[in-house]
Chains A and B, each alone.
Chain A
Amino acid sequence: MALLNIRNLTVKFATATGSFTAVDGIDVRVDRGEVLAIVGESGSGKSVSMLAVMGLLPDTATITADEMTYDGRDILKMSGSERRRLIGREITMIFQEPIASLNPSFTVGFQIEEVLRLNLGLSKRDAHAKALDLFRAVGIPEPEVKINAYPHQMSGGQCQRVMIAMAIASNPRLLIADEPTTALDVTIQKQILDLLMKLQEDYGMALILITHDMGVVAETADRVVVQYKGKKMEEADVLSLFEAPQHPYTRALLAALPEHATGDRLPTVSDFFQQEGV
C-alpha cells in the first residue's frame, strides 16, 4: 500500500516575468519500507516536488495536485497544527549541505535535544540520554565528547550523521534525503549511503532519495523516477532502468556516465534527442 501518494502535482512560481512551472503534473508514489530514487539534473524540479510535500516552499509557489495523501490522509486539507504533527515526526528530511543545515551558534547536542524535547516531549535528562543513543546508532565516534561540539568542529560527514540522527529521532516512516551525499567525498558518501540503507532496513522506513548521481541510484534504489524539466520521463524498478532504459533521456543520462564511455567521445543528451527525433 502506498505510504505517500501524489498524483498530478504541479508547482508554479510567480516571478517578475510571469508564472514559471517548476513541476508539471508529476506522480510520485512510495510504499512502506521502499527506497525510491528521484533522479534529475538541476532544474528538473526533483527537489521542489518534495519541498511541496514538506510545506517548505515560499509563498510565491502555487501548489496544486489531484491527490496528495500520506497513509490515506489528505496532506493538502490538513490544518497547520495537524501538518506540523506529521512533518518532522512521521516524515522527516535531510538536505545537501549538512554544515549549513545546522545552526553554527549552538552545539550539535543542544540542537538534537531540542528536537527530542519538542517532538517527543522528552525531559532534558531523557533527551540527553536519547541523543547519545542516536549518536551511537548513526556511528558518531565518542558521542559523549561530540555531543558538546559545535558544527564547525565536525567534518561534513559527521554533520550529515548528526542531521540523520535528528531525522530518525522520532522513528519516522518516511525519510526524504535531498542530495545527502553530494557535498561529501566518495569514501564518506559510501559510509553515509550504507548508514541510510542500514537504518532504512532496521527501522522499516520508506526512503525517498533525491539525487543527480546515477551511481547513488544504482547503489541504493528499489524504484526510480527520472525527471526532466519538471516532467516525469520514466519510472521503473532499478534493474530494468539500468538494463533497458525506455526513455531517450534516461538512455542519454546513462550513456553520459564516463565509466560507460566506449569510444573517444561521451554522448550528450542533445545527441540522443537528435538521434531519436525527440
Chain B
Amino acid sequence: MTATPVVEGRAIVQDYHIPGSMFSGAKVVRALKGIDFAVQKGKTLAIVGESGSGKSTLARVIALIDAPSGGELRIDGQPVDIRRQRPGPAMRSKVQMVFQNPYGSLNPRQKIGDVLMEPLVINTDVPASERRERAEAMLKKVGLQPEHFNRYPHMFSGGQRQRIAIARALMLNPSLLVLDEPVSALDLSVQAQVLNLLADLQDEFDLTYVFVSHDLSVVRYIADEVMVISKGEAVEQGSREELFADPKHPYTKSLFAATPVTDVEAIRARVARRKAARQAQPA
C-alpha cells in the first residue's frame, strides 16, 4: 500500500502523572507504552481491550483531545502535535469523536438543532440559514426527522441520542471518526441499528473509523484491521480475517475463550454435560 494513511501513529506513549499526597510520593503511570498503527482511507481499525488497557487513552490521543507524552501522530501524512500548536479549524474538522455514553455526551439544556450547529459556528463561517439546512439534512441522514430540531436530549431514547452524537460528529465532514465504545450502552436490537447506520455512513462518505470496543463480536462485524491492546501495549495486530482465524498472543486467545458462544452445537454440548453431572450426583 502506497497511499498515505488517514491516521498514523508511531511509538505513541502516554504518561499520567499522579501527584503525591500526604501519604505517598508522586507516581507516573505509563498508560500507553509505544503504540504503532496506521489506518487507510475508508477502513476501520478496531482497538480491542479490557478496562484499564489504555484503549480509551489511545482514542483520546487520536481524536486530538489529549497530547501524547511521546511519539508522533500524523493525520493525512501531516505531523500533528497539539501541545506545540493548537490544531486549527481545518484539522479539527478532519477528526471527530463519538463517546460511549449518549446520556452524558449531550448537554441536557441544549436543543438538538443547536447541538448540531455548534461545530459549524465554532469551526466555520457558514451563514446561519445554511447551518440550519445542513443540520436538518444531517438529522435525516442518521435516521431522525427534521422536526426533532427543536427538541431536547431527554426526549430521545439511548439509540436516538447516539444517532444525534454521530450526526454532530459528521457536521464538519470529517475524514476520520473516533468511536469510543459507541454501542456498549445500547440494547442489542438498537446496537444493530446503530452498527448498520455506521456501515452506511462509512460507504456514503468514505469515512475512516477508529472503533474502540471490548466486544469481539461487534469488532468481527465492523472491523477491517484489529489491534488488541493490553496494559498499554499492542499485543497483537492484524487483519480481521487473520486475527479471528488464528489468534496468536495468549491474551487474545484468553479474550476469545472468555467470549460467550451462542452456537447451537456448543449449547447442546453444555446441556449434555450438565445432564451427565446431575445424574452422577443424585439429588
Name A residues whose Cβ lies closer than 8 Å to a Cβ of B: 32-33, 41-42, 156, 185-190, 201, 204, 212-216, 218-219, 222, 237-239, 242-243, 252-254, 256-261, 264-269
Contact = CB atoms under 8 A, between A and B. Distances in A.
Interface stretch (B95-103, B127-135, B234-242, B261-269): B261-269
Given A204-B283, A253-B188, A186 B271 contact: no
B221 A261 contact: yes
In order of increasing CB-CB distance, the 10 nearest A-B pairs are A215-B260, A258-B221, A190-B258, A266-B192, A41-B187, A269-B189, A185-B50, A256-B192, A259-B217, A187-B258
A256 B188 contact: yes
Interface of B: 50-51, 158, 187-193, 195-196, 199, 214-218, 220-222, 254-255, 257-264, 266-268, 270-271, 274, 277-278, 281, 283
Given A212-B187, A253-B189, A266-B192, A260 B264 contact: no
A260 B271 CA distance: 21
Contact of A214 (B258, B262, B266, B268): B262
B189 A242 contact: no
Contact of B264 (A201, A242, A256, A266): A242
A266 B271 contact: no
A222 B214 CA distance: 27
A268 B261 contact: no
A214 B262 CA distance: 7
A87 B196 CA distance: 44
A267 to B, nearest CB: 7
Of the listed residues B199, B215, B218, B260, the one surrounded by the most CB atoms of chain A closer than 10 A to its CB is B260
A212 B261 CA distance: 15
A214 B261 CA distance: 9
A239 B258 contact: no
Contacts of A204: 283
Given A239-B267, A242-B267, A258-B220, A201 B195 contact: no
Contacts of B283: 32-33, 204
Of the listed residues B215, B255, B258, B283, the one surrounded by the most CB atoms of chain A closer than 10 A to its CB is B258
Contacts of B257: 190
A129 to B, nearest CB: 28
Of the listed residues B189, B218, B257, the one surrounded by the most CB atoms of chain A closer than 10 A to its CB is B189
B189 A268 contact: yes
B189 A254 contact: no
Given A187-B255, A268-B193, A218 B187 contact: no
B50 to A, nearest CB: 4
A88 B31 CA distance: 42
Contacts of A33: 278, 283
A219 B260 contact: yes
5 contacts: A185-B50, A222-B274, A256-B191, A266-B196, A267-B192
Contact of A238 (B195, B267, B281): B267
Of the listed residues B187, B222, B274, B277, the one surrounded by the most CB atoms of chain A closer than 10 A to its CB is B187
Contacts of B51: 156, 185
B274 to A, nearest CB: 7
Given A212-B188, A213-B188, 20 more contacts: A186-B50, A186-B255, A186-B259, A187-B50, A187-B254, A190-B260, A213-B260, A215-B262, A216-B260, A222-B274, A238-B267, A239-B264, A254-B262, A257-B262, A258-B195, A258-B217, A258-B220, A259-B217, A265-B199, A266-B193
